Amino acid sequence: MQLGFVIDHSRCIGCHACTVACKSENDVPVGDFRTWVKYTERGTFPQVKRSFAVLRCNQCSAAPCVTICPVTALSKGASGIVDVDSAACVGCKSCMQACPYDALYINEGTGTAQKCHFCAHRVEVGLAPACAVVCPTEAIVPGDFHDPNSRVSQMRAAGGLQARKTEAGTGPNVFYKEVDAAGIDPSLTRADGGYLWSNVKASPQVDAQYWEALQAKADARTTYDVPRKSLWGWKVSTYLFTKSLASGIFLASAILFRGWGQVGGLTPVTAAWSAGIALIFLVATALLLIGDLKRPERFLYMLTRPNWDSWLVKGGVILTIYGALLLAWLLMCAYDWLPGSGLRSLMALATGAFAALTAMYTAWLFRQAKGRALWLWEPLTGHLFAQAVVAGTAAMLLLAPWLDLGAAAQGTLAVWLLAFLATHLLFTWLKGRAYHPRGREAEFKRALALLSSGPYAKRHLWLGLFLGVLVPAALLVWGEPGFLWNTAAVLALVGLWSEEDVFVRAGQAVPIS
């Protein structure tokens, strides 16, 4: 069985009865929606045509929200309905990032994710969903797409139906008849034509739409829609930055690991201190992740009921193992428990491997966030690794006087920082030219434009790249050790934080519904 809807827009009159019935039936909070009606218009007065689109969860066959949920709070039942177990949800918002249809929301009262569940409590007793019952024109048709005799199967077999964002590979089970393409494809609409209400709530999505409107890229206008806001903010972008430091500091110290007491190498005490500093940033990373949960008291659910398909869970395991290895390395270095150079090298190799995984795993998590095309960029794994080495070498340069690193060690760090600043710049250049996610190229470029010439361009180009890459590189090449190199390290860290922050924010600014 696969329950779903066909929505006949040759009948829909845009009355919002489905929205009101859904809110009443499911006690949906004010400001949140499980189903809503979007208005779009084409033409100029007096030749204007208004169209409606009823938007909602698509009960996907390959639901990305189920895959990314770290605590199995989302599941797809035998009826094909995707539902949320509020008793298990930790409020991480990852399911909302994974959904290409904006179908989930956080109930601020409970701190848990909620969505359309096809009025499962009604379906269980043989009743149709409330939205279908209340529709005055019978435009909303529910049914089982696996039953060839059902009305929805017959309508689909007759052809002429459309679905939203099939290129995302989710297998949507809501189909539209005679819908204006602008209603189900947000890239075809502009936001500068005025809304039906006078007060539009400011948000990054609205800013992005207004900027795009100046480019005159669409002839249709959105005149009624529900408000949206960014889900992940400074805590997630700061988590990326602290994670870069936690992994990069060890990787940078490993560059210097050529035996205790050698010129340019690390002493056991220096190695212990660098591991301790990396461990502090790793703990900060974990605290930021927990702090961003709407239900932080439930974070242990990731251990007691993990979803091993989710990179949130896999990433948590990587962070835990890396933390244990860092602590062991710290103790071994502080007390010189590994006198043999071979054992030291083996331990350094194992810790370095998990440091690299710590830097990179977020790319695989972002790849599960199918709602955000910018985060699907294929070489992101390598880019995050390069950013971690930039963070680590810059931090170690700043810490050199306290870690008693000599001129040779500082010179080695400066060379590696310069090399990975260049690598970071190369990845940034490559992002605009190659390896765009297949089928999502237009959406990816739309998000990328916000960085290159849109609302985030100043931070990206001036703070992230000019002050964060080019100026530090120049100081490292033509400057002297000491103040100028320290300045280069500070600018590299500030620029890196800015780049990771705008990457998180720009990825969420493009409207997806």
pLDDT digits over 168-191, tens only?
Answer: 999 999 999 999 999 999 888 877
Cα(109)–Cα(354) distance, rounded to whole angstroms? 38
Q: pLDDT class for 216, splitting at 50, 70, 90? A: low
- C-beta of residue 74 within 8 angstroms of C-beta of residue 63: yes
* Residues above pLDDT 70, as percent of the chain: 95
- pLDDT value for 263: 42
User: What does the pLDDT read at residue 422?
Assistant: 97
Q: Which of the four pLDDT bands, split at 50, 70 and 90, describes residue 265?
A: low
Cβ proximity of 32 and 137 under 8 Å: no
Q: Is the pLDDT of residue 262 over 50?
A: no
**pLDDT tens sequence across 390-420:** 999 999 999 998 888 888 889 999 999 999 9
C-alpha 430/C-alpha 412 separation (Å) is 27
Averaged pLDDT of the chain: 92
User: Is pLDDT of 109 > 50?
Assistant: yes
Task: Determine which of 66-75, 186-195, 366-375, 437-446 has the lowest per-residue pLDDT on average.
Answer: 186-195
CA 15, 117, 292, 462 torsion-angle sign? negative
7-30: burial string, b at 16+ Cβ within 10 Å, e else: bbbeebebebbbbebbbebbebee
Residue 158's pLDDT is what?
93
What pLDDT shows up at residue 194?
67
pLDDT at position 269, please? Answer: 83
What confidence score (pLDDT) does residue 110 get? 95
Query: Tens of pLDDT along 461-508?
Result: 999 999 999 999 999 999 888 899 999 999 999 999 999 999 999 999
Is 376 in a helix, a strand, or coil? helix
Separation of alpha carbons 182 and 12, rounded Å: 16
Q: If you average pLDDT over each of 207-221, 326-340, 344-358, which comes out highest?
A: 344-358
Token pair of 427, please?
Answer: 């990845």
Residue 377: pLDDT above 90?
Answer: yes
The band of 261, judged by pLDDT with boundaries at 50, 70 and 90, is very low
3-189, which class in CATH? alpha beta
Domain boundaries, the chain: 3-189, 234-509
- pLDDT value at 278 more than 60: yes
Angstrom distances, CA of residue 156 to CA of 61, 139, 282: 16, 15, 52
- Chain-centroid distance of CA 342 in Å reads 41
The contacts found for 262-269 with CB under 8 angstroms, 24 or more apart, are: 263/406, 263/408, 264/406, 264/408, 264/409, 264/411, 264/412, 265/409, 266/409, 267/404, 268/333, 268/334, 268/336, 269/333, 269/334, 269/404
At 221 the pLDDT is 86
H/E run at residue 10: none
% of the chain surpassing 90 pLDDT = 77
Most confident of 164-168, 193-197, 338-342: 164-168
Same fold, 3-189 and 234-509: no
- 151 SS3 class: helix
Q: Is the pLDDT of residue 456 over 90?
A: yes
d(CA 249, CA 128): 58
- Better-scored residue on pLDDT, 224 or 258: 224
CA separation for the pair 414, 411 (Å, rounded): 5
Best-predicted range by mean pLDDT among 44-48, 56-60, 264-268? 56-60
Buried b (16+ CB within 10 A) or exposed e, 270-297: bbbbbbbbbbebbebbbebbbebbbbee
Between residues 217 and 400, the one the model is more confident about: 400
In this predicted structure, the answer to whether residue 389 has a pLDDT above a threshold of 70 is yes
Q: How far is CA 174 from CA 5, 66, 136, 147, 184, in A?
A: 5, 18, 19, 15, 11
Q: Per-residue DSSP letters for 275-319?
A: HHHHHHHHHHHHHHHHHT-SSGGGTTHHHHS--TT-HHHHHHHHH
pLDDT digits (tens, 9 = 90+) for 425-448: 999 999 989 999 999 999 999 999
Q: Which architecture characterizes domain 234-509 according to CATH?
A: Up-down Bundle (1.20)
- Look at residue 193 in the predicted model and tell me its pLDDT: 65
Q: What is the pLDDT of residue 354?
A: 97
Q: Predicted confidence band at 346 (pLDDT cuts at 50, 70, 90)? A: confident
